[in-house]
Amino acid sequence: MTASSHTPQGWEAFWREVPGGAGETFWDSDPSLTAALHLPYFRPHFDAGLPLVDLGCGNGTQTHYLAGHYGRTLGIDLSPAAIALARADGPDSPAEFRALDAVDKAAIDALRGELGDVNIYLRGVLHQCTPEDRARIVAHAAVLLGARGRIFAVEPAEAAKDVLMSLARRPTGLPGKLRAVFAHGISPGEMADTDIPRLLEEHGLRTVASGRLPLFTTESDDDGRRIELPTNWVVAGA
């Protein structure tokens, strides 16, 4: 786990092959095990009157849940196929969805002009990007936050590498849903536990809360236990 990539083509190909419905990807656990666990940690710091942007929303499982707790909720993802799944999986959801690449400055500036200050939910996006694109995404997130918005960012901890390596050494190899990600040239990159706070600080964002939580995946180990990855979370704002 040494390289990372920002591959719109790879992600589009990946999402085109994912069946509709929640739980079809390695990280797409039920919101009760994901966004619902995160909500108590960022809700006290978020201005409830601001729009909420789920940046890198994928097929929208967590976005639909968050839309039930905030006013205008917008999921954005660089993959049109993921956005199509998000819309199809929640036809009655108040959440909105839009295909938008967070490294595209012009697109981010336009979104800022449309929404003003926003809060951001950012889950498991940065470790999939090159270091250069991580910096761009955080810089653009700071633009979207403005003066009043806050970001909740959560990424795999350094210790997650050991979990993934142990999965690769199993007689059965990597879980099928994880193999599907690698098959499209998408590979997680290594991030130090200090990387997220450092990136946020470098772009004018001050950490106001942080901690560690498990990421419950949709796969099980050979003993039938749900596979968990350790993650670090941060809430920050201008």
On whether residue 3 sits in a domain, the answer given is no
Q: Average per-residue pLDDT in the chain? A: 91
Q: Which two tokens stand for residue 216?
A: 């419950």
Residue 213 has pLDDT above 60, yes or no: yes
Is residue 130, in this structure, part of any structural domain at all? yes
The domain containing residue 49 runs over which residues? 8-237
Q: Return all residues near 55 (Cβ < 8 A) that are at least 6 apart.
A: 76, 102, 120, 121, 122, 125, 137, 141
Q: What is the structure's pLDDT at 223?
A: 80
pLDDT band for position 6 (50/70/90)? low
Q: What CATH number does the domain containing 48 carry? A: 3.40.50.150
Q: In which band, very low, low, confident or very high, does the pLDDT at 137 lie, cut at 50, 70 and 90? A: very high
Domain count, the chain: 1
Q: Is the pLDDT of residue 28 over 60?
A: yes
Higher pLDDT, 54 or 186: 54
What is the model's pTM?
A: 0.93
pLDDT, greater one: 34 or 90: 34
User: What's the rounded Cα separation, in Å, for the pair 125 and 77?
Assistant: 10
108 inside domain: yes
- CA trace torsion 142, 76, 49, 199 (10° rounding): -20
Q: Is residue 68 part of a domain?
A: yes
Distance of CA 22 to the CA centre of its chain: 15
Supply the pLDDT for residue 3: 39
Do residues 48 and 70 make contact, with C-beta atoms less than 8 angstroms apart? Answer: yes
Q: Is residue 2 part of a domain?
A: no
Per-residue pLDDT tens for 102-136? 999 999 999 999 999 999 999 999 998 989 999 99
Across the range 162-169, mean pLDDT stands at 83
Domain presence at residue 1: no
| In-domain check, residue 76 | yes
**Residue 181 main-chain phi, psi, to 5 deg:** -70, -50
Kindly state whether residue 30 falls inside one of the protein's structural domains. yes
Q: What percent of the chain has pLDDT over 70?
A: 97
